[in-house]
Structure 1
């Protein structure tokens, strides 16, 4: 086996092994089927954050919101409502996003009330401290009154009030900006004769694991929080495995946040997050009796003297994980580390700049598919010095081929003597035989980073490219089984056996581009190597055929640029690749094999 083919085989095999480990050794776990129409039991009704002093011990309280009065939420980007029973934000939908590409598809539902199939809502209030009983602070069953405006818009906040009949008047003002950020300002006025203490809190509660979870190992879905610069991502299973905390009355974990942070739930493309003022307790909790997951933010206890008023503010982000909006909240609205709510993965040092560049190119071009092609060109330019050195080394190896053959003839069966002679030749001619691996090796983290970007970021969701590619985050919908739409035959759904051979146009082009790249060099003389190289493009074609179209588009573009670079560099060093000759010889070998 000559060193050039050995290097190419090694690098390609390594790429194959890495991908195989990811997608074969660690397949997505199977999801447990659930009944979307299952009724919510009384025991699984809304948990209310009630705490003594500085704790956040949750209790379950039966709440029926069917007949509760409501305030509408209406902005350019969201609609929903606030239940006056508990003052909870429990209905919210995102106007800019639909569940599927179908124009008649429902818009994405973000929050749902207690009487829905999967309740997901927010609660705010005050935990009673010294001098107060739990029924003297507003809870899940408290009926609030409306003061002034009865519709929450981006230009008009709403104000709720409640008098506990014992000298305390509670006020809650709710505002929302033009995107997805709510501002919840709670205040209490003490008109009584005694001093009391109480702690403001915010709760996001979710009943059961979301039915539409992707449950894919490279994507975090579950609880997420930032505490003084430290990000914590906790899966639903991990929360359910926490030890029982007697103070919290459930399985729980409490983190003290000294300065700044946030806590909430993250889905594939959507997120709900509490962002309190400085200094709070972040609580992750699971009540196994009611199958309710909670994240809580409990702010420091405040002392309220007679005649005084105390105020506390908490922001709530509930919406789409749009990079530009989240970055603006981090940079301009004092939410540190908010961009890390997007799951950038282990290669974050690649994924973050790659997405920034992709986002910038898309803003300039106006099409995410062409932006991916532009991104590929930029990446190839950046790694060109490495590629040039590698391809120049490969061309040099070709020039040394006659001398290498002479050394092999002189050494005979003495492998040690031959290796020593080869090393001396490499040293003399200043050639690194391993340099040919570098361009492929550097592509591995870039490949996975781009895969992460395409799979995770919202901006690729439902992003079209050309005619038949209407969603770059999904596999190519065309199929060779119906001649790419010419036959009246519906291709099999993903996951079925026939779907494996239901290749689209892009996967086929991927296989052809890899095959052409091979033809820059003559096939190896060893029959085993010949077989491996002959099958490799088509194995990758089937293996990557089910990947997102955007990723396959990147790979095709990368292959064609690599082919052009390698061809030109080899020619500049005096070696003219005989591509057509290598193609002809490969077909001749097949004909001889048949004979």
Structure 2
């Protein structure tokens, strides 16, 4: 076997090895899957054993409902009706446990189901917020409202942005509790709890709020670039993935895994999904205890915030306010809440390690989209701006590449003269570069700068909800999803769908965007000086087509960016080369190479 065939086999093997490693490290995100119908609640007879803590004390305020799921589902409710939210509050426990996001659907189909965020115990995926008072000195646990308390609707009947509702409960022993719910036009609830002491002795208790979720979500993306799980803001942001929550240190008083942050001011704690989040936000400048727990027996994840204990004298009252965010992680909405006093709330969006790039890139993309009204064209506009910013560096790089192209014949002569003596070859090339004042590394800097920008844009497209189901044109109606076209549906002309992302069929029958990506990379490569080593030449020749398959399963918005980037780079480089006196004839050079190869094969 001659050296050329060996090098070809080596280049091919290396290319496919790169593809395999890439798909291991960067697997395409799994598509959303429907809930399988299983429940994390353990049942015995007719009553669900969902007890987490039976004594609502200051140290253990949590008391998840002990009622049967049927009773919880059938309990009286107060409706939630806002332009953006639909749901209800259960009067059994006063839990916010039914919430749908009116502006978002599960798929791009117009009749797809509206996204469900919260659901009651007894449903397929219980997830809810509850509130109460933890008993302390002079108060027994059954004297304070808990998750099974039967509240009475005393004011209002439907919760709207301009119409709060109030629930009441009298414990029959001198304490009267009221709870008022308010909601704004977006996703923020305000829950005000008050207690009036009509008894003859002091009563001490601490207000709390809880978010409880039964089991991990069934539609976890499980992708390293995305955080899903616990998110906590104390002195700094802490993100804990779902599978790490059970590893918290065991709290000695409760015997359950817990992470506790004592006396936090201006903090918050919550549970975040890919695009949705629920968060408990204590009052500003108030000491609060933020805790996350996992109960392995019942498979319940829980976050809680406990405010300072208060002592209510006979004839006196106490009031506490807690805010609850439950909705979509929209940049503008969350930024507005931050401006209203929620500390660093914008960081609840997973900006990643390159936050210093992802934040400004998203801001620019967002502003372009407001101006243009189409996210696909906004991505192309963003690419133009990035290329304009990097143009001074690119200019020097392309000038250097033009000179390198001109030196190609001399480099070929050096190679022939040196033969197999690599050291002589390298010395000759260094002398040539020095004589012609060419820096061979000058072309690397723009490429190196593109790597963090590329990764940051990928993060923005994958993580931010503004790209979810964002249309562009034709069949590209979701720029956060892979290219929906393939040879199997005649690149979008037929109604049938493309192969499942991540499957072998999707790897083989790629869409039109990956094809355009490969062609654009190939054209750009033709303007660059070819390596002198034959093996390197073959590897570089394969790279456009390797990347074509590698990026085929990525978000189509990212592929649009890469195509636009390659096209602009090719145009810039071509014009700069001509301005330096070098006239690249891309297609002519290709035909010359083809003719030379044909003549060699015939001999």
Same fold (TM over 0.5): yes
Measure the CA separation in 2 of the matches of 1:575 and 1:120. 66
Segments of structure 1 that go 5 or more residues without pairing to the other structure are 1-13
Confirm whether residue 539 of structure 1 aligns to residue 546 of structure 2: yes
The structure 1 residue matched to 2:471, chosen from 464, 469, 491, is: 464
Matched residue of 2:74: which SS? coil
**Distance in 1 (alpha carbons) for counterparts of 2:374 and 2:54:** 46
Question: Which residue number in structure 2 is paired with residue 341 of structure 1?
Answer: 348
CA distance in 1, matches of 2:247, 2:272: 19
Q: Alpha-carbon deviations, 1:329-360, whole Å to 9, x = none? A: 112x1011111111111111111111000000
State whether structure 2 residue 173 is matched by structure 1 residue 166: yes
Determine the C-alpha separation between the residues in 1 that align with 2:109 and 2:122. Answer: 28
Pair 1:77–1:586, CA change in 2 (3 A): farther
1:293-315 per-residue CA deviation (whole Å, 9 max, x = no partner) reads 00001111112112211111110
* TM-score relative to the length of structure 2: 0.90
Alpha-carbon spacing, 1:403–1:535, altered in 2? closer, same or farther (3 Å): closer
1:255 pairs with 261, 268, 279, which one?
261
Tell me, yes or no, if the aligned pair for 1:473 and 1:549 is still in contact at 8 Å. Answer: yes
Q: Is the 8 A contact 2:231 2:271 kept in 1?
A: yes
TM-score, scaled relative to structure 1: 0.91
* Alignment partner, residue 207 of structure 2: 200
CA distance in 1, matches of 2:182, 2:122: 25
- Structure 1 match to 2:83: 76
Partner SS, residue 108 of structure 2? coil
Give per-residue Cα distances to partners, 1:241-278, cap 9 Å, x unaligned: 22322323421110124321110100010000000012
User: Which residue is equivalent to 1:304?
Assistant: 312
Please, which of 304, 318, 329 is the counterpart of residue 321 of structure 1?
329
- 1:166-185 equivalences in 2 (<5 Å): 166-185=173-192
Which residue of 1 is the match for residue 271 of structure 2?
Answer: 265
Q: Distance in 2 between matches of 1:473 and 1:593?
A: 47
Are 2:42 and 1:41 equivalent residues in the alignment?
A: yes
Does 1:52 find its partner at 2:57?
A: yes
**How far apart in 2 are the matches of 1:356 and 1:365?**
14
- Give 1:291's aligned residue: 299
Give the Å deviation of 1:389. Answer: 1.4
Contact 1:145–1:160 (8 Å) recurs in 2 = yes
1:81-230 equivalence runs, <5 A? 81-228=88-235, 230=236
Aligned residues: CA RMSD? 2.8
CA distance in 1, matches of 2:388, 2:173: 72
Q: Tell whether the 8 Å contact from 1:59 to 1:249 is kept in structure 2 after alignment.
A: no
The 1:140/1:413 distance shift into structure 2, 3 A limit, reads closer
- Paired with 1:248 and 1:419, the residues of 2 have a C-alpha distance of 70
Q: Where does structure 2 lack aligned partners over 5 or more consecutive residues?
A: 1-13
C-alpha distance in 1, partners of 2:324/2:332? 18
Contact 1:28 1:217 in 2 (8 A): no
Alignment partner, residue 8 of structure 2: none
**Cα separation, partners in 2 of 1:490 and 1:471, compared to 1, 3 Å:** closer
**Partner residue in 2 for 1:392:** 399
How many residues are matched? 580
The aligned residue for residue 380 of structure 2 is 373
1:482-522 alpha-carbon deviations (Å, 9 max, x no partner): 32245676543334322212211111111111111122246
Given the superposition, is the C-alpha separation of residues 571 and 303 from structure 1 closer, same or farther in structure 2, using an over 3 Å criterion? same
Q: Give how far 1:227 is off.
A: 0.6
- Between the aligned partners of 2:548 and 2:464, the Cα distance in structure 1 is 25
Matched, 1:518 2:525: yes
Task: Tell me the alpha carbon deviations over residues 89-113 of structure 1, each in whole angstroms, 9 at most, x when there is no partner.
Answer: 0000000001111111110001000
Q: Deviations over 1:433-467 (max 9, x none)?
A: 11111121111111111111111100011111001
In 1, distance between residues paired with 2:518 and 2:390?
A: 23
Are 1:507 and 2:508 counterparts? Answer: no
